[in-house]
Structure 1
Amino acid sequence: MTTSVPLRAGGREWLGLVALVIPALLASMDLSVLFMAAPRISAELAPSAGQYLWIMDIYGFVMAGLLVTMGSLGDRVGRRRLLLVGAAAFGAASLLAAFATTPVLLIAARALLGIGGATLAPSTLSLIRGMFADDNQRRTAIGIWTAAFTGGIAIGPIVGGLLLERFWWGSVFVINVPVMLLLLVVGPFLLRESKDPNPGRFDPLSSVLSLAAVLPVIYAVKHFAEKGANPLSPATLLVGLAVCALFVRRQRRSEHPMIDVRLFSTSSFSAAIGANTAITFASAGMGLLAVTFMQTVLGLSPFDAALWMLPTIVGSVIGVALASALAPRTRPAVLVATGLALAAGGFLLVSAMRVDAPVWWLIASYGLLTLGVGMTSTLATSLVLTTAPPERAGSASAISETSTEFGGALGIAVLGSISAATYRAEMDTAVPAGLDDELAHTATDTVGGALAVAGQVPAEAAGVLLDRAFAAFTEGFTVTAVIGAAILLLGALVSAVALRRVPAAGPPSGSH
């Protein structure tokens, strides 16, 4: 009796992997690539504080809300076909965003980008799984994809800073276009079509409910940050939570659910997803505020800010290496809790920032945070798959991808809203006399607005305005850091308890 050996992938498959990894990287990068461009967008398009946050994170929320839907759709219409349609949509939306002339148009373009991005990530991963039949090759390929998809959030601000040194803010979107065109050309030759032979019935209502559960909740957070306490915020929040309950109920009753919510009945699985969400929440939320602080308060150019951000990637790499080295002999409860605690320590160091603080203090603080991110995300991703039953690995992977994007977008929304609300509260009584109502409103709304107003008033008034605006933004930055640290420390405690019975991974198979 002979045992069949899976065919090993050849040159075509590895070239196809390159063609799939790059769009996955771009889809992830677009969550954070605007961080460096934020001050210029504030100055040129003059968005309100609420519009500014929608510009930054509508992409992530739409993408997170549709990832599972698009993965399910690709199972039915063909993953390669959906990937190519998504590439065309992503490229077109990138051009629309690059040349947007109003905040509303840019928000709409970013939402369309989110739809395109949602087709790229699950389609690329599903195609990779089908291209590599050999277990070792598949693990390597998925590892490369995971590194690109999760690393894109960290790489985005650096790429944005390098582009902004020579080009206008829209260039951070234009770079997507040639990559998508290349994918449209080579995709049909390098990638084989694949479908699920027994996908079950597609559920469009679940797709609508998944997005309708996310956006009202986020709108409530942003509206509260911008307008303060009023009946609309709690009402919108309750609508979002009610839709979320309907979505969960439908998934429980469905024969072919889009998300297998029964997986969350396992405490270790829920803890892994929670840790993954918390850590991307922290890194993305702090990333936006950190690069804004460097360019406004510290006065660095986008290029210099990008160079200063490079060591933070080293912190993430060290975290990944530590997690990989310690995982075989150390319980996940210890490592995940330690990673979250280290990230919280980075937040606490940020909370000591002052207007005249050296940039190296910020980078050291943020580097400690990214070290914790590297440790936690590596272990959480592994735990999601190892704590889920083998027959539910696909659903577990989809939930993991969604938690990464949702956590990042939620961090931008919540931490950004807290920072914006603190800034406005500080500036309401700090605007210099002599500014008309329109200029005063612009200066008190965002720190970018204050920079724009400073260019329109006499030098003496501009100096006073900027001193007060920078102090107000720094206050918002440090208040946000304390809150972020508290959230991560709570996550560390919950993870330590929920994962306490999960054993260490043990030595790799074949080792002695």
Structure 2
Amino acid sequence: MTTPVRQTHGGDLAPDTGGTRTPGGSAGRRWGALAVLMLPVLLISIDNTVLTVALPQISLELSASGTLLLWIVDIYSLVLAGLLVTMGTLGDRIGRRRILLIGATGFVLVSVLAAFAPNGHALVAARALLGVFGATLMPATLSLIRNIFEDRDERRLALAVWASCFGAGAALGPMVAGVLLEHFHWGSVFLIAVPLLVPMLVLTPLLVPESRDPNPGPVPVLDSALSVVALSSLVYTIKHSMVSGLDAVTVVCGLLALGTGWVFVRRQLRGTTPMLDLRLFARPAFTGAVLANTLGVFSMLGFVYYASQHAQLVLGLTPLETGVAMLPGMVTMVVSGLAVVPLVRHVAPFRVITVGLALAALGHGLVALTGSGASAVLLAGLFALISIGSGATETLTNDAIISAVPASKAGAASAISETAYEIGAVLGTAVLGGILVSHYRTAVDVPAGLSPEQVHLAGETLGGAVSVAAELPARIGTELLESAHRAFDSGIILTGSVAAVVMVAAAVMAHSLMRPRASAEARLD
């Protein structure tokens, strides 16, 4: 039995809720609740970008290899992506506000552990625990918004604020990281969680109404385990293959992801109370929204990953100067996310999303064309171009995804949206970062006469080469740096080219899948 679906302008799918009931109470209480829910959103978005800006210092101070750096970035998304579906459906059962409070408490405590990690491996472990608690935060905020704002116009504006807050946090992240890294140890970037989440823990019980699925069914223990294994294995397969190629680990993990994923899908399609209504993916508009969400994040975070390293390790900018260079793009993301709300009253959402993804393709293509000539000003301009499309895409795809289900199933739908986001984040760093690291390793020419340890560090990452060069005589150090910069910049040309091709394909896909198909959608219901 599926929920009646009405066709909206531009092919959007929204469940017929039978009116505009607003369980969040008065307008003031609803928007006050939204303000509280933005605190964990700010934290997650700040946390993403502060780490990116801090990577060069982490690389230098912890002597982390290229592979370990990717693990520090990706382990959070790997664990989080695996648990999102489970936590989203758990929130539907035990209460979305309750699971939000549990996650926020754990996130604060583990952030303190991450701040004082003594080595790269300990930091990876702390980031993994952050992924566990982070998996409770984002689906809970989206599902609570879905239940508080039942009116479609109000909800779309609330989601625009949600997406814009994500952009604002990403904008603040580099700035905050720059200030902190100028004066404190790199671990200080993780302590940002304390001033953001402690007020949230106090205000959430006062302003945010509890909600849950009134008919949740039994706890799907086996289905939860299958989803965790399938998603985690999938993300790890992608990540590992970009670093090590098609080896035994890649094959085994890939087969594990396919096998557990196949069993999970069969159980969802045959069960009477499935965790996820996979029939949603039979609707091209829904599938297109999920894919566009994934690839929009792929574009943005992939760019930030390699641009921040170019800015600091090639152009010689400080972390604060790098944050300033990224600020126009983040502001642009906020503005575009809000601007699409009135725009889609006149222009079909699928057209806006298509143009947004095409702008991202153009930005990456210009990176490939400029290569080593990319100045800080040019990088800032290109990031602004990519951010225009990202802000619009995130607002509209999140709206399409969570509006496709009844409010009682909001947690599961929000988990789909957040899984798409996190897989996009992993793809952005794993694919584009993996291409960059692999190219650097093959292209760098390490001078003779270095110790085996110095050869290893300089040949792994640009940060390692910078660290080794500082220990060498001036002539040899300069030779190493010139070679490392050439290898890194030629890798950026290749990376930008790959990203541009992917985003062109994403724009074509979004235009094809998200076009209105009123008759086809009606037949499905």
User: Please, what TM-score do these two structures have when normalized by structure 1?
Assistant: 0.89
Distance 2:62 2:36 in 1: 35
Q: Describe the shift of the 1:331–1:352 C-alpha distance in structure 2 as closer, same or farther (beyond 3 A).
A: same
* Offset at residue 274 of structure 1 (A): 0.8
Query: With CA pairs under 8 Å and 6+ residues apart, which has the higher RCO, 1 or 2?
Result: 2
Distance 2:368 2:81 in 1: 30
Residue 97 in structure 1 maps to residue 104 in structure 2 = no
Distance 1:304 1:19 in 2: 31
Corresponding residue to 1:208 among 225, 244, 263: 225
Corresponding residue to 1:120 among 130, 137, 140: 137
Corresponding residue to 2:510 among 484, 487, 495: 495
Q: Give the match for residue 508 of structure 1.
A: none
Q: Where does 1:229-240 land on structure 2 (aligned, <5 Å)? A: 229-240=246-257
Distance 1:347 1:204 in 2: 43
Q: Give the match for residue 72 of structure 2.
A: 55
2:354–2:510: 8 Å Cα contact kept in structure 1?
A: yes
* Offset at residue 26 of structure 1 (A): 0.8
Corresponding residue to 1:106 among 123, 140, 151: 123
Distance 1:203 1:357 in 2: 51
Distance 1:186 1:500 in 2: 41
RMSD (Å), alpha carbons: 2.7
Cα displacement string for residues 403-443 of structure 1 (whole angstroms, at most 9, x for unaligned residues): 1222122211111111111111112xx00111111110111
Q: Describe the shift of the 1:127–1:468 C-alpha distance in structure 2 as closer, same or farther (beyond 3 A).
A: same
Residue 144 in structure 1 maps to residue 155 in structure 2 = no
1:83–1:119: 8 Å Cα contact kept in structure 2?
A: yes
Q: Give the match for residue 509 of structure 1.
A: none
Residue 433 in structure 1 maps to residue 448 in structure 2 = yes
Corresponding residue to 2:422 among 392, 395, 405: 405
Residue 448 in structure 1 maps to residue 425 in structure 2 = no
Q: Describe the shift of the 1:31–1:201 C-alpha distance in structure 2 as closer, same or farther (beyond 3 A).
A: farther
Distance 1:447 1:195 in 2: 49
Residue 164 in structure 1 maps to residue 181 in structure 2 = yes
3-state SS in 1 of match to 2:372? coil
Q: Which amino acid aligns with 1:297?
A: V
Q: Describe the shift of the 1:391–1:75 C-alpha distance in structure 2 as closer, same or farther (beyond 3 A).
A: closer
Q: Give the match for residue 275 of structure 2.
A: 258
Q: Describe the shift of the 1:5–1:254 C-alpha distance in structure 2 as closer, same or farther (beyond 3 A).
A: closer
Q: Describe the shift of the 1:166–1:482 C-alpha distance in structure 2 as closer, same or farther (beyond 3 A).
A: same
Q: Give the match for residue 382 of structure 1.
A: 399
3-state SS in 2 of match to 1:236? helix
Unaligned runs of 5+ in 2: 1-18, 519-525
1:31–1:57: 8 Å Cα contact kept in structure 2?
A: no
Q: Where does 1:98-497 land on structure 2 (aligned, <5 Å)? A: 98-131=115-148, 140-149=157-166, 151-320=168-337, 323-385=340-402, 395-427=412-444, 430-497=445-512
3-state SS in 1 of match to 2:183? coil
* Offset at residue 305 of structure 1 (A): 0.8
2:53–2:308: 8 Å Cα contact kept in structure 1?
A: yes
Q: Which amino acid aligns with 2:184?
A: F
Cα displacement string for residues 347-387 of structure 1 (whole angstroms, at most 9, x for unaligned residues): 00011234343221222222211122123223323333566
Q: Describe the shift of the 1:481–1:6 C-alpha distance in structure 2 as closer, same or farther (beyond 3 A).
A: closer
User: Please, what TM-score do these two structures have when normalized by structure 2?
Assistant: 0.87
Q: Which amino acid aligns with 1:298?
A: L
2:98–2:210: 8 Å Cα contact kept in structure 1?
A: yes
Q: Describe the shift of the 1:176–1:318 C-alpha distance in structure 2 as closer, same or farther (beyond 3 A).
A: closer
3-state SS in 2 of match to 1:35? helix
My pick for the range that moved more, 272-281 or 221-230, is 221-230
1:280–1:373: 8 Å Cα contact kept in structure 2?
A: yes
* Offset at residue 171 of structure 1 (A): 1.1
* Offset at residue 75 of structure 1 (A): 2.5
1:282–1:484: 8 Å Cα contact kept in structure 2?
A: yes
Unaligned runs of 5+ in 1: 504-512
* Offset at residue 485 of structure 1 (A): 0.6
* Offset at residue 290 of structure 1 (A): 0.8
Distance 1:386 1:196 in 2: 16
* Offset at residue 390 of structure 1 (A): 8.2
